[in-house]
Amino acid sequence: MFRLDQEAEAAVRERLGLPEADAFLARLEQLSFDIAGPLEQVYGGVADTTRLATGLVLDALDAAAARPAPLRLLDRRREIDPGWFQRSRMIGYVCYADRFAGSLRGVREHLDYLAELGVTYLHLMPLLQPRDGDSDGGYAVADYGAVDRRLGTMADLEVLAAELRGRGIALCIDLVLNHTAREHEWARKALAGDPACREMYLIYPDRTGPDAYEATLPEVFPDTAPGSFTEVPGPGWVWTTFHDYQWDLNYANPAVFRHMLATMLTLANRGVDVLRLDAAPFLWKRAGTDSQNQPEAHLLLQAFRALTRLAAPGLVLKAEAIVGPEMLVQYLGAHDRYQPECDLAYDNQLMVMLWSTLATRDVRLAEHALARRRPAPAPTSWVSYLRCHDDIGWAVSDADAAAVGLGGFEHRRFLNEFFAGRFPGSFARGAVFQENLMTGDARISGMAASLCGIESAAAAGDEAELTLALRRLECLYAVVFSFGGIPLIYMGDELALPNDPGWADDPAHAHDNRWMHRPRMDWGRAARRRDPASVEGRAFAALRSLAHARRQLLALRSGGTTEILPAGNQSVLAYRRAHPRSAPFLSLTNFSDASQSVDAGLIARAGLRHPRLAHASTAAGAEAPPLELARIELDPWSFAWLTGT
């Protein structure tokens, strides 16, 4: 077990004073295994890991000593209540500060809007200083110590964080830890020949290394950024998984780890509650593999978590790992044994299954895939989402597809055709993203409202179809709100905002159709949110009531279990949520254009002896089903939430 030497321990007592020093040392004792174990496994071959660990603990001590008083108070609360982020009151909202409100100050002016929706967790998209010009939506950071000057300053971020804290809203921001912009100080110095800065990146003198790696590396952006290496004058070839201006960091160098930890702690001390760790699977490279999801990537996350806990126990880490279903839950620490890793991770699989089911109107693939996965460890939580700023990649495993009689490749191709609006009868108005002509793979861009058919129905002036499309949106979000993770509303979905028709007008965006689903907030439309006859009003009311209903249902908090229950109807997805301290919960969702019924025996099977309806579709025309009949009838594209002892 790792222990601080006497000198370092004395430093803790001197810097923090009682009782904080005592708390710090108690945390260290509790975390020492989680700090030393991963560091030893990752860096044992290249560094004296006892020295390394001591240095990192002292860095954490610096951060703890600098932590502002209100945040220390928050730490205390959260140590008493470590499940604070698992509550059913947690409702997330995701937006770009500039697209939502111009700037960080602008965001502060719209907090009432978020409160009206029931939001308690606000994820602002990348806001640190990016490179000039195209920055991949802020995912190419030139300076981790500054806020994007177009959005404001660090001081503005602190003021915003404090105001959110006062309102009980947690703040999440992006931390791009796999790569920096090539304009970052280290990259500039590396180009100028600084040997220490060259060690921060993965740089090869010729093509030998890159060729060997590329034999097994997939391409993330084959259309616009083929290959994974970029030739630069001087040093040679730089590892660039994403765009040529995003240089991958070399985590085999402990200095990279140390600097990134310092960035995390600085941001935590500004009042950030949650860090979204971008591209987490890519942190470690290994020849002969796809260099994703490597054991060391997990160990690094574990070490980051333990060391941030030490200094800022109120901080939560969220993994952005959009990977195959069998590799997802490990980011929550579900390895052979539970190893505390990220507290939150995106439930990419649920998202994909929702869209797949929307297209097929057949729940069997979702039932199969979701039923056989490993649960999230009890202290953690998924974040559940329907849309985000990225494309939808069809993470449907061939094995899952085969189990329900589908070909994986054919099904993925069907989904691309369907959502691009090319499949006969499709109502979707998305677009294909990064079609790889070599492999036939492709992904989908588009706002939820456009993928659900709201855009096409509104354009056609087809009122009946519009109602159906709005109900689809509500059904999908109903699952997002009740599957057990923290639900995230992607900005604009609450108003059924369609694709941005002018997305390509900005020359820096024209090559990347993900911008079609990154519209500016339309405050004119938002003003119609209280008009129940408008599309905006219908969508807003639906999401708002989902938030309201969720808050009342203890079974929906994270840390419980989600169990898929075959409903005996291919169009109805049924699942049960349970939490040791709550009454059981049953959700039924009809994913088809026709009415469907299920045997009411399902209610008893779910353990609800005295069922009552907790919530049901609000969208026009959907009737809440009576529960006392032998069969439960569900209107087309409608859902019912049941609870009861």
Binding site for ligand OTU (CB under 6 A): 136-137, 139, 176, 220, 242, 278-279, 281, 320-323, 389-390
| H or E element that contains 121 | strand 121-124
* 62 vs 442: CA distance, rounded Å: 47
Minimum distance between the CB of residue 284 and ligand OTU, rounded to whole angstroms?
13
* Amino acid at position 301, single letter: L
* 73 vs 67: CA distance, rounded Å: 10
Which lies closer to ligand OTU via its Cβ, residue 139 or residue 229? Answer: 139
Active site residue 320: yes
For residue 159, the tally of other CB atoms under 10 A from its CB is 17
* 37 vs 553: CA distance, rounded Å: 39
* Residue in this structure with the two tokens 């040791």, named with its chain if needed: 580
Which lies closer to ligand OTU via its Cβ, residue 141 or residue 486? Answer: 141
Exactly one of 34, 278, 455, 474 is catalytic; which is it? 278
Q: Pick the closest to residue 595 from 613, 569, 619 (CA basis).
A: 569
Minimum distance between the CB of residue 584 and ligand OTU, rounded to whole angstroms?
34
Judge whether 302 and 339 are in contact, CB under 8 Å.
yes
Exactly one of 136, 320, 391, 635 is catalytic; which is it? 320
Which lies closer to ligand OTU via its Cβ, residue 500 or residue 536? Answer: 500
What is the phi-psi region of residue 58: left when phi exceeds 0, alpha when psi lies from -120 to 50, beta otherwise?
Answer: alpha
Judge whether 54 and 61 are in contact, CB under 8 Å.
no
* 10 vs 534: CA distance, rounded Å: 65
- The partner residues of 382 in beta bridges, in order of sequence, read 345
Q: Pick the closest to residue 122 from 147, 103, 94, 99 (CA basis).
A: 94
Which lies closer to ligand OTU via its Cβ, residue 356 or residue 456? Answer: 356
Minimum distance between the CB of residue 467 and ligand OTU, rounded to whole angstroms?
33
* 357 vs 349: CA distance, rounded Å: 12
Which lies closer to ligand OTU via its Cβ, residue 517 or residue 615? Answer: 517
Radius of gyration from C-alpha coordinates of the chain? 24
Which lies closer to ligand OTU via its Cβ, residue 59 or residue 320? Answer: 320
* 301 vs 425: CA distance, rounded Å: 45
* 356 vs 368: CA distance, rounded Å: 13
Minimum distance between the CB of residue 220 and ligand OTU, rounded to whole angstroms?
5
Minimum distance between the CB of residue 493 and ligand OTU, rounded to whole angstroms?
17
For residue 160, the tally of other CB atoms under 10 A from its CB is 24
Active site residue 628: no
Minimum distance between the CB of residue 319 and ligand OTU, rounded to whole angstroms?
9
Judge whether 240 and 247 are in contact, CB under 8 Å.
yes
Which lies closer to ligand OTU via its Cβ, residue 216 or residue 645? Answer: 216
Question: What residues contact residue 532 under an 8 Å CB cut-off, 6+ apart?
Answer: 538, 541
* DSSP class per residue in 479-543: HHHHSSSEEEEETTGGGT----TTTTSSTTTTT-GGGGG-PPP-HHHHGGGG-TTSHHHHHHHHH
Which lies closer to ligand OTU via its Cβ, residue 2 or residue 139? Answer: 139
Minimum distance between the CB of residue 140 and ligand OTU, rounded to whole angstroms?
7
Which lies closer to ligand OTU via its Cβ, residue 121 or residue 639? Answer: 121
Minimum distance between the CB of residue 359 and ligand OTU, rounded to whole angstroms?
21
Which token pair is 196? 């220490």
* 598 vs 494: CA distance, rounded Å: 30
Question: What residues contact residue 93 under an 8 Å CB cut-off, 6+ apart?
Answer: 114, 117, 119, 121, 122, 123, 488, 489, 491
Q: Pick the closest to residue 370 from 512, 485, 284, 509 (CA basis).
A: 485
* 164 vs 400: CA distance, rounded Å: 42
Minimum distance between the CB of residue 43 and ligand OTU, rounded to whole angstroms?
24
Catalytic (active-site) positions: 278, 320
